[in-house]
């Protein structure tokens, strides 16, 4: 009885609920989703920032700081038409190449671009600060990224390639460890082996390319080159030997010159000694002659004094004795013999 009493009532309530849902369903589907004014940038469309004025934000879905600035960035992008600026965002997880091209090391990171000239915005991600940065043109006081630092440079293009490869390796590692459930150390071993095999293959390719472009010389030309090389080596050896001989000759000549100079100095000293000895001999011979003359002159005087009165002893000159004369002559002979011995 209870079941039969509440059955029609429950059926009526379910029917009414279904009717209300059917009426509300089309109305909710008719409401459009809120459109985002921020344009996602990828590796395929990033060159759009090379024209006009842009503001870019680099973020990651797991970054709390990036999530805190999402609403402010969306408001800034909504007023982009008024500010005459385009606003974009880059997911570094999905686009590692772009993060490498701009060399992003911290999140969130903001960049300003004006006709292909890039500058790093280091202010807060608040709408008022971003608006003043554009209206007051504060970006003009910021040093631009030029040269190899520019995202459009060849260096940063290579950096983008490296970051893209690293991103792909990271995704592959996650696929092995998360999706397939392979242990992490197995994934590391796989990448190590892949790196070794890839290096060997690249080396083999380089060897093949070098063999293709290298043209070996004919045998007779190679023999000629060997002979030429040997002759050049022999010529160099001869030149070295000649240089050593010339050096030895110059040393010998210097030694000879020094010996000659020493001999000349000795001869000069010997000549001076001989001149002094000659002077001494001449003076000795002069003294001997004077003594002899004095002795001859005193002989008659003695005879006269014997016949006449003797003179006072004070005025009588002292005559040299024959013994003194003989000693002087012997000394003169010895000096002459020594001079004769030194002469040869």
Catalytic residues: 63, 66
Residues 6 or more apart whose CB falls under 8 angstroms from that of 134 comprise: 53, 55, 83, 85
Residues 6 or more apart whose CB falls under 8 angstroms from that of 186 comprise: 176
Burial tier of 21 (Cβ tally within 10 Å: 0-12, 13-18, 19+): exposed
* Pairs from 278-282 (Cβ < 8 Å, separation ≥ 24): 278/339, 280/335, 281/332, 281/335, 281/336, 281/339
- Find out whether 55 and 130 touch, Cβ atoms under 8 Å: yes
Handedness of CA 41, 44, 47, 52 (dihedral sign): negative
- Find out whether 173 and 187 touch, Cβ atoms under 8 Å: yes
Neighbours of 20 (CB within 10 A): 10
Pure H helices in the chain: 2-30, 64-68, 70-78, 80-83, 96-101, 127-135, 154-174, 184-213, 219-307, 322-342
Question: What is the C-alpha to C-alpha distance for residues 96 and 156, in angstroms, rounded to an integer?
Answer: 13
Question: What is the C-alpha to C-alpha distance for residues 115 and 150, in angstroms, rounded to an integer?
Answer: 13
Letter string b/e over residues 141-174, b meaning 16 or more CB atoms within 10 A of that residue's CB: eeebbeeeebbeeeebeebbeebbeebeeeeebe
Residues 6 or more apart whose CB falls under 8 angstroms from that of 270 comprise: 342
For residue 27, what are its two tokens? 């109305």
């Amino acid at each position: 009885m209870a079941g039969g009493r509440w059955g029609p009532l429950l059926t009526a309530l379910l029917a009414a609920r279904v009717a209300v849902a059917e009426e509300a369903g089309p109305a909710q589907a008719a409401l459009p989703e809120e459109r985002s004014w921020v344009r996602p940038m990828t590796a395929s469309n990033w060159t759009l920032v090379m024209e006009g004025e842009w503001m870019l934000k680099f973020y990651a879905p797991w970054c709390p700081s990036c999530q805190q600035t999402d609403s402010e960035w969306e408001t800034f992008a909504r007023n982009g038409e008024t500010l005459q600026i385009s606003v974009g965002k880059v997911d570094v997880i999905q686009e590692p190449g772009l993060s490498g091209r701009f060399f992003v090391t911290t999140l969130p990171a903001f960049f300003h671009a004006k006709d292909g000239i890039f500058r790093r915005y280091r202010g807060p991600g608040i709408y008022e600060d971003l608006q003043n940065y554009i209206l007051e043109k504060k970006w003009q006081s910021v040093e631009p990224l030029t040269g190899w630092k520019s995202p459009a440079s060849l260096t940063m293009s290579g950096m983008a390639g490296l970051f893209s490869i690293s991103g792909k390796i990271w995704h592959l590692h996650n696929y092995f460890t998360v999706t397939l459930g392979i242990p992490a150390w197995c994934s590391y071993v796989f990448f190590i082996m892949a790196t070794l095999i890839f290096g060997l293959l690249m080396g083999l390719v380089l060897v093949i390319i070098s063999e293709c472009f290298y043209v070996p010389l004919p045998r007779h030309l190679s023999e000629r080159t060997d002979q030429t090389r040997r002759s050049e080596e022999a010529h160099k050896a001869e030149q070295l030997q000649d240089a050593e001989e010339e050096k030895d000759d110059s040393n010998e000549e210097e030694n000879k010159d020094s010996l000659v100079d020493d001999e000349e100095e000795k001869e000069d000293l010997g000549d001076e000694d001989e001149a002094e000895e000659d002077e001494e001999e001449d003076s000795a011979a002069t003294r001997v002659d004077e003594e002899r003359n004095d002795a001859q002159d005193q002989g008659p005087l003695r005879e006269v004094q014997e016949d006449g009165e003797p003179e006072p002893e004070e005025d009588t000159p002292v005559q040299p004795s024959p013994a003194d004369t003989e000693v002087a002559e012997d000394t003169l002979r010895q000096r002459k013999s020594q001079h004769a011995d030194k002469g040869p």
